Amino acid sequence: MVSTSRMQRLSRNLWTTRYTPSARAITHLTISNRKEFALTPEQIAAPSLILLSETLFTDDGKAVAQNKYYMDPAYFDLVVHGRRSLGI
């Protein structure tokens, strides 16, 4: 199991090195039947998984990172909070 402090350090690192410098992101949710090698036994037993794929871009449109998260649908809950930004 990963410690909470290690997860917090990882999260801070991601925000400072990937998310903060990125001008925009594209996030895609889909159902996946692909079985990844690093899944937990519970995820492997699931008939399908939810794949959240996120690509981060710089101001000039260069892709700088892609993150993929596989989630068991039994534990998936999506909540979207929207906020209008200036210029829209």
Whether this model's pTM surpasses 0.75: no
- In this prediction, residue 49 carries a pLDDT of 81
80: in domain: no
88: in domain: no
18: in domain: yes
Residue ranges making up the domain that contains 43: 4-75
> What b-and-e string marks burial along 22-55, b requiring 16 or more CB atoms within 10 Å of the CB?
beeeeeeeeeeeeeeeeeeeebeebeebbbbebb
83: in domain: no
86 has a pLDDT exceeding 70: no
Averaged pLDDT for residues 48-52 = 84
Sign of the alpha-carbon torsion through 83, 78, 44, 13 = positive
35 has a pLDDT exceeding 70: no
34 has a pLDDT exceeding 60: yes
Averaged pLDDT for residues 22-40 = 76
